[in-house]
Amino acid sequence: MAVQRRALWLTLAVTGTTFVVVGLAALAVFVYRQQLDDADQYSSVVGAAAAALTLAGTVIFWLFRRIPVKHVAGSASNNSESTSAEPVLCRTELPPTHFVGRQHELDQLEGWFAEGDAAPPLLVLGEAGVGKSGLLAYWSDRLHRRLAVNVLGFNLGGFGQPGSRKNVSDAFGEWLAHLRPGKPIPQDPTARRVRLLHMLRDRRCLLIFDNVNDYTELRAVLPAIPKTCSVVISSRRELRGLRAVEGARTVHVGRLGEDATRLLDAVMGGRLAGNPEIAKKLSAYCAGLPLALRVVAETARDRRLDEVLAELTNKAGALTAMSRLGDELSDIRVVLSWSYDALPSDAARQAFRLLGVFPAKGSTASLHAMAALLGLDVASTRDVLDVVRSYHLLEWAYDPSVERHLVDGVRDNVDQTSALALRIGRHDLLHSFAAELAAGSTFAEEIRDALTRVSELYHNEVNEVFDWQNRDNLMVDLDMRDAWRTADPIGVQVTRSAAGPFQWFERERTNFVALVIQAAALTPPLPITTRLACSAFYFLEAARSFEEWDRVEMAASPHAQARDGDRLDLARWLRNRGRRHLVTLLEHSERLQPSDGGRTMPTEAAAKARRYLEHSLRLYRQESTGAGQPDRQRRAVAGVATTMRELADLCRLEAEFGTDPKGPAEAVAAYKAARAAFGDYTVNISTESQENWIASFELAFGVAYLLVGVDEPAALTDAGHLINRSIAYAETLDDGRSRSSRLKAFGWRRHGDLQQAHGNHEDAAGSYATSATAFDEEVSDPLGCARSLAYQGRALGLLQGHEDAAARVFARAIRLFQDNGAGDEAAIAADWARTVNPPH
């Protein structure tokens, strides 16, 4: 600015002098012309004036040559070393073609630069491959062309091969070469710095230090950089020290969202315009990283899109598909490895490797679970993971819904609150890269120990939520529950921080399934594999996640059936397998059946259920009569009672399908035997703690009596007592909700069956309506609701004058069946409706 003022005053002075000289010359000519008559004398005076003007012009020209004119955002300078009037553009890389989105980041950059001298250094931060350098190249190029700003950029190579790393002095040398082309560059770093900063004193410049890791040297230089220069620093690290001490601002560059498919389509020349689903899938595999998107677009050149998608999803994985261009700068695996290699400690690198093991791909986990994975306390785990996060190798966020469920005193404890509310995750490409690092024999012991710890934690948590849903149930491992509550109170709070048992399982289901698969895949499998696999059957059944149920338990099959395996574990696995086939029968029995009575039982499922359950019962009985440990005997006796209940359910279902005339009576006898076994179990346990199990048992027992009542009406009285007691328990409010919404819904449907058996069609219709409401509003089971509505419609159809009401109920049931993929049941309901209102 001082140079500009000096140039202005000098220009005014020279101009004024010129006018004075010219004026004096003109005056002299005039005077002499008046006084001299001699023409020769007159010519001499004019010549002298012309010589004076020539001399003045020469002086003026010399003075202007001494003032260098510099066109940098309209400014001038007296820097004698400048050799060019044009603004300098020294890029770190070319601006990317097909630049898409990033308007928010561009607005932040523009706003910061507009502050001029007052703007602090700016940090542009983001993970590997997210497009930080590309964003800066695009923006600085636009800035250079629009405002004629000097742009000096340099890649310090902080994340890259060790030999590619540069220092600030290297940057200054390259910038001097651009500013002073053809002139020698000082070799001494101090002289180089002094020379460059001297040249930048009066230039409006944008200085870009790209790809920074260690900022110690840069921090020392920042105070000496002239105020006319705006400084941008990009990094994969958070560089928190520069924010704290130097007051640096931050622009975070995140992964692309909806713009990811736009970028893919643009780079691929519009090939995705007619394939939105494939575009969406390709973008998902790229995790929204521009580098990955561009690499995939290049690999897709002249190839079928479904072929490219298949390559991303095959066993080799997306990383391999994105690492075939033969260039390390476009090799996603190499680019990610530079971030991993830069982590500052073994603990941080180990934590990142273990992120390839847990949480599951696409999922998150609590800080408490991560502490189990790492084998550290919660505070230390947070510290280590924060280092990894500062290199943008993981993400975390607080779950605001958790705080509502914290117990008194926990909110004031930072470690406990973090353990409860903090969720840790990473995108799929980082998961795949971490999993590759963890694979192989190098870290085998480390991985096995980590999986053991986190699998034991999840086994305890599933046991806790099962007890939360079914207090002191026979299938709850009470000894394990009580020991864990004492040893890990924070873990209990983490589990109970969910809105409810099913909400916890829904949040953790993906992690649970992945843990079982990994535990079973180890050689040898973890000792806890079978117990872990069998622990979540209740939630998988309730969620109708039958494929996952089969997957986890079949993964544990070799371990469960090993010759030297635990007999109780095998008995539990066999019982669960029998239950799984029993559920197939239960699902089939719940479906609407044709009016012609053509009920068919899945005989293969029935045979497998019986074989598994009877084998399980033999093993439980062997263990219950042995001289084993008390907790094992308790589990064995509970297993006997539970398995006998399952066998009684099997007898009842066979009776419902009418495969054996003696079936109803045999089912009642089987339930009586199961109740006796349950009595053996509760000798030392309060039956009040078993209310849930008893209520469920009594509903099933009541249905067996209901079947007997077809031929023996007196049995309907016993059925009524049992069904009503079950409903009374299910409808009892607990925290403002029914204790067991599903039991309530099924109970009222069976109550409708009981009223139908008594011929009370109006009461039956009311019971079915209550069941339908419970399925709809409390269980969120549209098919259960549709079935109860169909039964309600049939009951209404048996009442004189209720034909229109029946038609409305049937219409709603049919619509629900159709909307939920049950067209065959919709057809049966329509057939029932026609019997009520036959077509004219």
Residues 6+ apart with CB under 8 A from 370: 358, 381, 385, 424
Residues 6+ apart with CB under 8 A from 329: 335
Confidence at 374, pLDDT banded by 50, 70, 90: very high
Which of the residue ranges 503-512, 563-572, 656-665, 730-739 would you say has the lowest mean pLDDT? 730-739
The whole-number average pLDDT for the span 356-375 is: 94
At 744-791, the pLDDT tens digits run 999 999 999 999 999 999 999 999 999 999 999 998 899 999 999 999
* pLDDT of 366 above 70: yes
CA distances from 393 to 338, 388, 426 (A): 11, 6, 7
At 816-834, the pLDDT tens digits run 999 999 999 999 999 999 9
Full DSSP string of 295-360: HHHHHTTTS-HHHHHHHHHSTT-HHHHTS-SS-GGG-HHHHHHHHHHH-SSHHHHHHHHHTTTSS-
**Tokens standing for residue 273:** 């315009």
The whole-number average pLDDT for the span 193-198 is: 94
The whole-number average pLDDT for the span 329-350 is: 95
Q: Could you give the dihedral angle defined by the CA atoms of residues 71, 73, 76 and 77, in that order, rounded to the nearest 10 degrees? A: -100
Question: What is the rounded CA–CA span in Å between residue 191 and residue 186?
Answer: 6
Sign, Cα dihedral of 136, 141, 147, 152: positive
- Dihedrals φ, ψ of 520, to 5°? -75, -25
Map tokens 């696999």 to a residue.
533
Let me know: does 137 contact 234? Beta carbons within 8 Å: no
Q: Which pLDDT belongs to residue 498?
A: 87
The whole-number average pLDDT for the span 237-263 is: 94
Q: Which pLDDT belongs to residue 47?
A: 59
Estimate to the nearest angstrom the gap between the alpha carbon of 137 and the chain centroid: 30
Question: What is the rounded CA–CA span in Å between residue 652 and residue 703?
Answer: 8
State the alpha helices, DSSP H only, in 556-629.
557-560, 567-590, 603-624
Q: Which pLDDT belongs to residue 68?
A: 41
Confidence at 420, pLDDT banded by 50, 70, 90: confident
3-state secondary structure of 213: coil
Question: What is the rounded CA–CA span in Å between residue 197 and residue 174?
Answer: 13
At 500-512, the pLDDT tens digits run 888 899 999 999 9
Let me know: does 192 contact 185? Beta carbons within 8 Å: yes
* pLDDT of 240 above 80: yes
Q: Which pLDDT belongs to residue 77?
A: 39
Residues 6+ apart with CB under 8 A from 243: 123, 249, 250
Which position has the higher pLDDT, 764 or 21?
Answer: 764
- Beta partners for 422? 398
Averaged pLDDT score across all residues of the chain: 85
Question: What is the rounded CA–CA span in Å between residue 757 and residue 514?
Answer: 48
Let me know: does 636 contact 601? Beta carbons within 8 Å: no
Which of the residue ranges 100-104, 115-119, 524-528, 548-552 would you say has the lowest mean pLDDT? 115-119
Length of the chain: 840
Confidence at 497, pLDDT banded by 50, 70, 90: confident
The whole-number average pLDDT for the span 456-479 is: 87
Q: Which pLDDT belongs to residue 821?
A: 93
Q: Which pLDDT belongs to residue 75?
A: 39
Please classify residue 348 by burial: count the beta carbons closer than 10 Å to its beta carbon, then call 0-12 exposed, 13-18 middle and 19+ buried. Answer: buried
Alpha carbons within 13 A on the beta-carbon side of 472 = 11
∠ CA 160-165-166 to the nearest 5 degrees?
145
CA distances from 450 to 341, 533, 767 (A): 22, 18, 52
Question: What is the rounded CA–CA span in Å between residue 570 and residue 568?
Answer: 5
Please classify residue 60 by burial: count the beta carbons closer than 10 Å to its beta carbon, then call 0-12 exposed, 13-18 middle and 19+ buried. Answer: middle
Let me know: does 360 contact 513? Beta carbons within 8 Å: yes
Alpha carbons within 13 A on the beta-carbon side of 450 = 24
Residue 186 per-residue DSSP state: P
| Angle of the 803-819 helix axis to the 823-836 helix axis, nearest 10 | 170
State the alpha helices, DSSP H only, in 625-740.
630-656, 663-681, 691-708, 715-731
Which of the residue ranges 1-10, 77-86, 561-570 would you say has the lowest mean pLDDT? 1-10
**Tokens standing for residue 729:** 């328990």
- Beta partners for 234? 124
* pLDDT of 412 above 60: no
Question: What is the rounded CA–CA span in Å between residue 381 and residue 419?
Answer: 10
**Tokens standing for residue 458:** 């999840």
Which residue type sits at 181? P
CA distances from 303 to 280, 297, 307, 325 (A): 18, 10, 7, 15
**Tokens standing for residue 410:** 């926990």
Reply yes or no: is the peptide bond before residue 501 cis, omega within 30 of 0. no
Q: Which pLDDT belongs to residue 43?
A: 55
CA-closest candidate to residue 639, choices 663, 655, 615 = 615
Let me know: does 664 contact 704? Beta carbons within 8 Å: yes
At 213-230, the pLDDT tens digits run 999 999 999 999 999 999
DSSP-derived pairing of the beta strands 395-398 and 422-425: antiparallel
3-state helix, strand, coil in the chain (%, to 5): 65, 5, 30
**Tokens standing for residue 838:** 């036959």
Confidence at 418, pLDDT banded by 50, 70, 90: low
The whole-number average pLDDT for the span 134-140 is: 96
Question: What is the rounded CA–CA span in Å between residue 368 and residue 770?
Answer: 42
3-state secondary structure of 397: strand
Which position has the higher pLDDT, 545 or 740?
Answer: 545
The whole-number average pLDDT for the span 448-458 is: 96
Residue 165 per-residue DSSP state: -
Question: What is the rounded CA–CA span in Å between residue 163 and residue 153?
Answer: 20
**Tokens standing for residue 154:** 């340099």
3-state secondary structure of 101: coil
Which of the residue ranges 346-360, 467-481, 537-551, 680-694 would you say has the lowest mean pLDDT? 680-694
Let me know: does 797 contact 766? Beta carbons within 8 Å: no
CA-closest candidate to residue 720, choices 737, 738, 699 = 699
CA-closest candidate to residue 427, choices 264, 253, 285, 235 = 285
* pLDDT of 29 above 50: no
Long-range contacts of 754-763 (CB under 8 A, 24+ apart): 754/702, 754/706, 754/716, 754/719, 754/720, 754/723, 756/795, 757/706, 757/709, 757/710, 757/716, 758/716, 761/795, 761/796, 761/798, 761/799, 762/795, 762/799
DSSP-derived pairing of the beta strands 365-366 and 395-398: unpaired
Which of the residue ranges 109-118, 165-174, 370-379, 708-717 would you say has the lowest mean pLDDT? 708-717
